[in-house]
C-alpha cells in the first residue's frame, strides 16, 4: 500500500471516530455533570456547548490512541504532545490559570487513557504477530 494512502486512511479513520463519538461523549458528559449552558441558555446554545465538550473529549481520546497504534516510535510521543498538548495549553492560557488547570486535568487523564488503550492494542498485535 502506498504510504501516502496509508497516512490518508489513518487521518480519515481518526476524523470518522471523532465525528461518531462526539455526540455520545457530549450526552455522557451532560448526564454525569449537568448541562453546560451557562449564560447562553437564553440563546438555546446549551446543546452547542455540550457537543463542543464532546468534540474535545473525543479528540483528546482518539488522537493519542491512533498515534500510539499507527505512528513509528521515534516521533510518536512528540506527536501526542504536540497534537494534544497545544490545545490544552491554549485552554490554560485563555482562562484564569487555576480554572484552566482544573479544566485541563480531566482531559490529561482522558489522553492517558487513549494512549494506554493504543499501547495495549499495539502490544496485543505484536504478541499475536509472533
Which triple of cell numbers denotes residue 66? 491512533
pLDDT at 36: 57
Tell me: the pLDDT tens digits for 64-114? 999 999 888 888 889 888 999 888 888 888 877 777 777 788 889 999 999
DSSP per residue over 13-75, as a string?
A: HHHHHHHHHHHHHHHHHHHHH----GGGGGGT-HHHHHHHHHHHHHHHHHHHHHHHHHS-HHH
Tell me: the pLDDT tens digits for 22-69? 989 988 888 887 765 555 555 555 577 778 888 989 999 999 999 999
pLDDT at 65: 92
pLDDT at 124: 94
pLDDT at 116: 94
Amino acid at each position: 500500500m502506498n504510504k501516502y494512502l496509508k497516512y490518508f486512511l489513518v487521518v480519515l479513520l481518526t476524523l470518522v471516530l471523532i465525528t461518531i463519538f462526539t455526540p455520545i461523549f457530549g450526552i455522557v458528559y451532560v448526564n454525569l455533570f449537568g448541562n453546560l449552558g451557562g449564560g447562553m441558555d437564553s440563546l438555546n446554545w446549551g446543546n452547542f456547548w455540550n457537543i463542543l465538550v464532546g468534540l474535545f473529549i473525543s479528540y483528546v481520546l482518539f488522537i493519542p490512541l491512533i498515534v500510539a497504534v499507527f505512528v513509528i516510535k521515534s516521533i510518536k510521543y512528540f506527536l501526542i504532545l504536540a497534537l494534544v498538548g497545544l490545545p490544552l495549553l491554549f485552554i490554560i492560557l485563555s482562562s484564569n490559570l487555576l480554572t484552566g488547570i482544573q479544566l485541563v486535568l480531566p482531559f490529561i487523564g482522558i489522553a492517558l487513557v487513549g494512549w494506554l488503550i493504543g499501547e495495549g492494542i499495539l502490544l496485543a498485535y505484536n504478541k499475536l504477530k509472533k
